[in-house]
Amino acid sequence: MLQLLVEQLTKLSHSGFFADDLDVYVKHLCANVQALQNKLTEQGSDLLLISQVVDSVWRATQFLAGTTSNKVPYEFTYLLREVLVDWQLGDTIVTTSLHQAPDFTCQPADMAPNVLLKGLGMEQLSEQGQLVQMGMPEIFQHMPLLCTPLYHEVGHFVEARYKIVKGLLTSQYDKAIELLPDIKVFNDKSRRESAVLAHITEHFCDLVAASYVGACVSDYIIQWDRNPSFRETHPSADSRAEVTQAFLRGVSNPIVDMLKEAVELSGVTLRLAPRYEMPDVATCFNDVRPMTVKSIAQLHGLLPAADEYLKTILDEDASLMGHNIASVPRAKRARLVNDLVEKSIRSFMITKAWHEPLDQSAAS
């Protein structure tokens, strides 16, 4: 099996990725697998130890394989990468996966423990960063306005790394359960505790997402949550939307206030607050051309701004008279706006990549 992994990784190393960190990771992974092959030829090799590392390499390889496809939404992956950098998780390497299910996922490629990697002389592999795979429905691959739930999934990754909600509940469990009246239907203590953790975590992830894409989060919850009533794993759609909207309006809400305090006490320097700026997309989009994004805050704000714009042009035609967008059939406007969003993000990526080497040259 190791030989097959070497062959697949060698192919991947020639495929080319849209991010340098992925290229570097693949090269290190390939070199380490080859070293692992050599270990197997040594007498006294610990096969159990090696098998655990092989499982890790297998998962990492599958994550990476999906990221070389031309179908990968590089533009949206770039946005998620910026969120992770914002939360001081710049060591995270983002891969993507397109699937047929209507779900969004965030799954770390859990590497073998460092002690095992070190024992095999592969410790530099874990030093390359943590690999995480963002999964999304393939049908949405070029529809960034429908992919905003991935911001929520990033929230789950943030919680997994910092354990903000878990830390909160160690000191404020009683307060949390009072804010979740639905939870009281669970008489079993362990189920109740599990539900409290799950519900508060979902609210936290919603607020992380809302920090970057605003009302897109509550809109998606209301429109797409297939289970509007509360479950053991999720609050009701109405409850989630209410908390998110209170956060965005700046209205006092006990769950919002509790989560803001939890982030402050966690040691993370970031604060739970809106971190986006909604640009005026109408001027450019009315003429069917991408807009020039001026900052990372505007880059995230492009999504809620474009979402508002799309709702407007689907509801009315009178204000569009004299603009190029008026000639676009109503049924094609959603895809066109999503295309303009992608092109606007891509233009920002290219401009930023162009200026960064120039800045480095000027500094040297």
Domain boundary (98, 118, 147) is at: 147
> 58 vs 39, 44, 89, 95, 203, CA distance in Å?
17, 23, 24, 15, 33
Considering the domain architecture, whether residues 245 and 116 belong to the same structural domain is answered as no
Considering the domain architecture, whether residues 47 and 132 belong to the same structural domain is answered as yes
Q: Which domain holds residue 234?
A: 156-265
Residue 274 lies in a domain: no
Domain boundary (94, 113, 147) is at: 147
From first to last of its 364 residues, the chain has per-residue pLDDT tens of 677 877 777 777 666 555 677 777 787 777 777 777 777 766 555 666 677 677 777 777 777 776 665 567 888 989 999 999 999 998 888 888 888 888 888 887 765 555 556 666 665 555 566 788 888 888 988 899 999 999 999 999 999 999 999 999 999 999 999 999 888 888 888 999 999 999 999 999 999 999 999 999 888 877 766 566 788 889 998 899 999 999 999 999 999 999 999 999 998 999 999 999 999 999 999 999 999 999 999 999 999 999 999 999 998 777 788 899 999 999 999 999 999 999 999 999 999 888 775 445 444 4
Considering the domain architecture, whether residues 24 and 143 belong to the same structural domain is answered as yes
Beta strand 92-99 pairing with 105-108: unpaired
Distance CA 103, CA 113 (A): 29
Considering the domain architecture, whether residues 67 and 175 belong to the same structural domain is answered as no
Q: What is the pLDDT of residue 170?
A: 93
Considering the domain architecture, whether residues 292 and 345 belong to the same structural domain is answered as yes
Distance CA 89, CA 96 (A): 17
Q: What is the pLDDT of residue 308?
A: 95
Considering the domain architecture, whether residues 245 and 114 belong to the same structural domain is answered as no
Indicate the number of domains in the chain. 3
Residue that has been written with the tokens 């599990």 in this structure:
194
Residue 272 lies in a domain: no
- Nearest CA to 303 out of 241, 221, 216 is that of 216
Tokens in use for 289?
A: 């051309």
**Upper half-sphere CA count for residue 323 (Cβ side, 13 Å):** 17
Considering the domain architecture, whether residues 212 and 301 belong to the same structural domain is answered as no
Considering the domain architecture, whether residues 114 and 9 belong to the same structural domain is answered as yes
Considering the domain architecture, whether residues 99 and 160 belong to the same structural domain is answered as no
Q: In one letter, which amino acid is 125?
A: L
Considering the domain architecture, whether residues 94 and 52 belong to the same structural domain is answered as yes
